[in-house]
A and B are shown apart, each in its own frame.
Chain A
Amino acid sequence: MAHMNPTPVLEAGQDKTMVLNMGPQHPSTHGVLRLLLEIDGETIVRIMPDIGYLHTGIEKTCEAKFYQQVVPMTDRIDYLCPMTNNLAYCLAVEKLLGLEIPERAQWLRVLCNELTRINSHLVWLGTGAMDLGAMTVFLYCFREREELLKLFEAVSGQRMMTSYFRVGGIAMEPPLDWFARVKKFADTFPSKMDEYEGLLTQNPIFLMRTKGVALLSKEDALALGASGPTMRGSGIDFDIRRDMPYSGYDKFKFQVPVKTDGDVFARYQCRIAELRESCNIVQQALAGMPEGSIKADAPKVVLPDREKMKTEMEALIYHFKIVTEGFTVPPGEVYSAIESPRGEMGYYIVSDGTAKPYRVHMRSPSFANLQVLPSMCKGQLLADVVAAIGSIDIVLGDVDR
């Protein structure tokens, strides 16, 4: 499979380190990550990640698809937060087109994005805690996640690969009782959070496994390209939602949790606080959800409503045109980044004026965040590598694309 640095050859009597292979099939690597660990006793001397096992050439595939056909591809990059990927892609294409999105669509996107963030962080919390031996948290997290997946299914027809957003808006209105169901979830979620925290935050075993473990300094985080909670756990106060707002995030009030310790526990605290903030944003979005259209007024880009398509000649023609020929995008290039649960999710799209993107590049947060792993594990114990991987919350689909 993917190339690795030449495996270090160790001759007998030369030194006292040994090389241990971890993965690619290993339950705590959250996918197919292979690590080559050079260890001295139980202390890590060097780590070399070997990635590429999940590389499917999505960037190349995108070049052969119409702009609207790329949306389902984006789900499959980071399969724990499909809607964030949808949003990042749609925002980039909309920026290329110069398209104005109605406010209701923006708010719905924010609402779905924060639900996705909760979903993604719940998987991180459950699996990360299970890696350290806390089985119960995993079951509790997946109980709440199941509720979220049902909400996603109700709104998009799919539990995980939602493809709910479209270039120019949103696929369809949520069903009638959906907002009430989201409200019910958001009302009960803080008490569930207390439950998780009751199991972990004061737990002496959990504290011993996380405090002072896998330290990442502020300078290293910046130099090695970490973003998202991994960066904020090391004291860098930056959140794209707040500092470079997109999709109407400037209308929401929320805190950006920052910790300065830079250890596994600091990153844990950041994400836990983010879960509460996300729930808070969901409440604000539900309370202030504007009325109006969920699609931009751009008949050449956005598919007409089903009703119109069946009754109006013009709408039928546009529908036929968009489906068979796609829509053309003026030439140019954009880089549009959003704050995904893992960090900076950027889409760099180059258009040559046709209906297919000339180049789509995803700057995926997991790919960049993985670079900090060797530096944060150096000198740590072998068992702490598992805690470190959990704390940077990588998704291998996102790493390999």
Chain B
Amino acid sequence: MPLEPAITDVEQLKDRPALGRLLASAVIAVEAVKFDRNELSIWVPREHIIAAIRTLKEDPELQFTFLSDVTCVDWYPSEPRFELSYHLLSISRKERVRLKVKLLGDDAQVDSVFSIFPSCDYFEREVFDLFGVRFHGHPNLVRIMMPEDWKGHPLRKDYPVEGYR
């Protein structure tokens, strides 16, 4: 299976149900899309992440009822620096989709999706702990991996692999 070039044109991809529903919604803006290596990624503005995830979960024809994973990539030193990835799985339709949100380095905060998927609890705490991204509305946003008096966020790219000491 040699690699095929990624498709980034919204027009070519709008037949895919997940993207079609998000485009049809009046409140959600789709910033960009990419279909690469058989995986669909959709970028949405951070104000719309709750609405987008709720649409994907609650639409009877989509049923992305399982949140597989929430994680982050640090693109330091370029801006927007942080890129959050939400991996959703539709158990009934056997399909995955990736929602992405870009965050500026000096304004790394986003709404928590805890009200829709309580399973994001540990994942968001992990991103907060290791990247320093804040999630508004998370009931218990404290460090999960590192000690509570730890300085810095180890998975940031400007954090040395060996640590500061």
Contact between B145 and A223 (Cβ–Cβ < 8 Å)? no
Instruction: Return chain B residues, CB-CB under 8 Å to A368.
Output: 119, 122-123
Chain A interface SS verdict (over half): mixed
Q: Which residue of B lies closest to A243 (CB)?
A: B94
Interface string of B119-140 (1 = CB under 8 A from A): 1111100100010000000001
Judge whether B7 is part of the interface by a CB distance below 8 angstroms.
no
Interface string of A221-249 (1 = CB under 8 A from B): 01111000000000010100001100000
Contact between B118 and A100 (Cβ–Cβ < 8 Å)? no
Contact between A344 and B37 (Cβ–Cβ < 8 Å)? no
- Selected from A243, A346, A350, A371, the residue in CB contact (under 8 A) with B87 is A346
Kindly state the interface size class of chain A when it binds its partner. 35 or more
Judge whether A293 is part of the interface by a CB distance below 8 angstroms.
no
- A227 to B: closest C-beta gap in Å: 8
Judge whether A122 is part of the interface by a CB distance below 8 angstroms.
no
Judge whether A176 is part of the interface by a CB distance below 8 angstroms.
no
Which of B17-25, B48-56, B63-71, B103-111 faces chain A?
Answer: B63-71
- Tell me whether A98 and B1 are in contact in the complex, defined as CB-CB below 8 angstroms, given that A52-B144, A52-B146, A358-B73 are known contacts: yes
Contact between A363 and B69 (Cβ–Cβ < 8 Å)? yes
Judge whether B11 is part of the interface by a CB distance below 8 angstroms.
no
Q: Which residue of B lies closest to A363 (CB)?
A: B69
Kindly state the interface size class of chain B when it binds its partner. 35 or more
Q: Which residue of A lies closest to B159 (CB)?
A: A60
Judge whether A183 is part of the interface by a CB distance below 8 angstroms.
no
Contact between B36 and A332 (Cβ–Cβ < 8 Å)? yes
Contact between B98 and A335 (Cβ–Cβ < 8 Å)? yes
Contact between B69 and A236 (Cβ–Cβ < 8 Å)? no
Instruction: Return chain B residues, CB-CB under 8 Å to A335.
Output: 39, 68-69, 85, 87, 96, 98
Judge whether B10 is part of the interface by a CB distance below 8 angstroms.
no
Interface centre among A51, A335, A344, A370 (most CB of B within 10 A): A335
Interface centre among B39, B66, B145 (most CB of A within 10 A): B145
A2 vs B145: C-alpha distance in the bound complex, in angstroms? 6
B residues contacting A by CB (< 8 A) are: 1-3, 6, 36-39, 41, 65-69, 71, 73-74, 85, 87, 91, 94, 96, 98, 117-123, 126, 130, 140, 142-148, 154-155, 159, 161
Top 6 A-B residue pairs of the complex, sorted by shortest distance between their CB atoms: A225-B119, A3-B148, A98-B3, A363-B69, A3-B143, A55-B145
**Other than the known A222-B66, A346-B68, what 15 A-B pairs have Cβ atoms closer than 8 Å?**
A3-B142, A3-B146, A3-B147, A52-B145, A52-B147, A63-B161, A95-B37, A98-B1, A236-B91, A238-B91, A243-B94, A332-B6, A333-B36, A363-B69, A400-B145
A residues contacting B by CB (< 8 A) are: 1-5, 51-52, 55, 57, 59-61, 63-64, 95-100, 222-225, 236, 238, 243-244, 330, 332-335, 337, 344, 346, 348, 350, 358-359, 361, 363, 367-368, 370-371, 400-401
